[in-house]
Amino acid sequence: MKILALMTFDIFRLSLGEALQQLGHEVKFLGEFDEDQLDAEIRAYRPDMVVDMGWDVWQQDKHVHHKLEPIREVIRRHGIFHLYFAEEDWLHFERWSKRYCSIMRPSFVLTRSPLTIRHYEELGIKASYLDVGCNPSFHTPGPVEEAYRCDVALVANGNFTIGELRYKSIHDLVLPLLDQSKYSVKIWGKHWGNIDWCYPGKKVSPAMLQGKLPFPETPSVYRSAKINISIQTSHDQLSNRTMDIMACGGFLLTSNTKAVREKLRPGVNCATSSSPEETIRLIEHYLQHDEERRRIAHEGYKLATEQFAYQVTLSKIWPEIEQAWKEHRRRSGIPTTAPMNLLRDGQFLEANKAWVAHNATSETSLGYGASGSMKFHGGADNAYIQQKVPVTPGQSYLLTAWFATSATGPGAPVHIFVQYYTKDNQLLGFGLYHILFVTDMTETWFPYRGITTAVPPDASYAWVLINKVPHEHSESLLVSDCKMIEYTT
């Protein structure tokens, strides 16, 4: 396939990005861009798929400046299949990946946490499990480089309190190194100079601090250090540096966690510690036993390259991705332009100019994504919006919208109608009738999707009606981002 990889960070390009190339895909990388540049790139390159992973710098920048929606619309307009790897799950699901996917609406999500698959499905997004891995064509064994030679190396930012385990992992693996001078220790990354903020009385010797390390230089460290420490953040996941270290043939010392015990074999392909005392004991032992250390490192190398290389794990999941890609292609026909929305002001940004409204007011600054919304009165008031749209005989239409309550509290039922009429205003029948229940309505945006029956031969237009049913003590409801487009099977 031709893949346009929206990746800025080297850690993404040189891992998953290069692995896709190794699997035979044609990959073009695009980092810094706006919606116009992305549009031009898609028109010129004509990719089969867009791939990205989070958090990337371009995603964060555009999210902060409310510019993700235009990027989404470019991808949608060209009908491109969007594959997203949520490698920050589960730890940052609520903080980032859920927000990102709610805005971007990728076609398929790869998540490193099985726990979040259900949540993506609830968003209406297909998802499957893919753990973080390594790229052995980049993280590969090599000669020791003098600039990186040391007894013990650590490559990581401090981030002392992130996750459920990081504080203890640093306590067990890093703190015992700070008070001794027997070994040469080198630490790369941010925040270590301020470690006393989290561990009172502790200081890192200036001789240990090596500053920031560009990702392309990480293999040089892992090859050259006798022992490499990998901090863990979660009990049920491995940090991605764990596999990178082993893929370089480096000796791994890490925390004794559930994930480590399940996926690795302490004493066979790595070493694990549960306390500062055990860390010192293990370092002294493996520095004195070179052959044993090299044997364990070699076993770790075999495990990483044979089981955790992206070239291996992606191959296993790719048939599922390809099937979803084929379904996407069949449904959309890969249009080159966006299908026309028959509903005028479907984003509710023109203050009731296009819609006939009853007990409903425009909220141009409150809506799903970049849209505004219509706010239906709550409680016992009936409220509705409706609009007349032209239709084509024999054609079916896809009607989509997003709903939410305006505050915490019960919602109200909503009836959605599409009725067909002749040019002489004679009712021919219903093209769509759907009920949304009270339980569907919460403060979280809820997607609706309905397909009409084929338009009768004598029909000239349709009335689209969204009706909020009176419901005692219910909150006001919001409807946003309404579309009615031609549907092709």
Q: Tens of pLDDT along 267-305?
A: 999 999 999 999 999 999 999 999 999 999 999 999 999
Of the chain, the percentage scoring pLDDT greater than 90 comes to 78
Query: Which tokens go with 454?
Result: 């084929």
> For the residues 417-431, what does the mean pLDDT come to?
95
Would you place residue 54 in the very low, low, confident or very high pLDDT band (cuts 50, 70, 90)? confident
Residue 179 has pLDDT above 90, yes or no: no
Task: Please report the pLDDT score of residue 335 as a whole number.
Answer: 45
> For the residues 74-96, what does the mean pLDDT come to?
93
Residue 86 has pLDDT above 90, yes or no: yes
| Nearest-10 Cα torsion for 278, 284, 289, 293 | 60
Cis-peptide, bond into residue 96, ω within 30° of zero: no
Task: Please report the pLDDT score of residue 145 as a whole number.
Answer: 96
> For the residues 76-98, what does the mean pLDDT come to?
93
**What are the φ/ψ torsions at residue 6 (nearest 5 degrees)?**
-85, 85
Residue 351 has pLDDT above 70, yes or no: no
> For the residues 377-383, what does the mean pLDDT come to?
92
Cis-peptide, bond into residue 55, ω within 30° of zero: yes
Query: Which tokens go with 293?
Result: 């250390």
- Threshold 0.85, pTM exceeds: no
Q: Count H helices and E strands in the chain, helices first.
A: 15, 22
Residue 489 has pLDDT above 80, yes or no: no
Sheet holding 49-53, edge to edge: 26-30, 2-6, 49-53, 81-86, 108-111, 126-129
Helix (H, G, I), strand (E, B) or coil at 300: helix
What structural domains does the chain harbor? 2-133+310-332 (3.40.50.2300), 146-306 (3.40.50.2000), 356-487 (2.60.120.260)
Express each pLDDT in 440-479 by its tens digit. 888 888 889 999 999 999 999 999 999 999 998 899 999 9
| Average pLDDT of the chain, as a whole number | 92
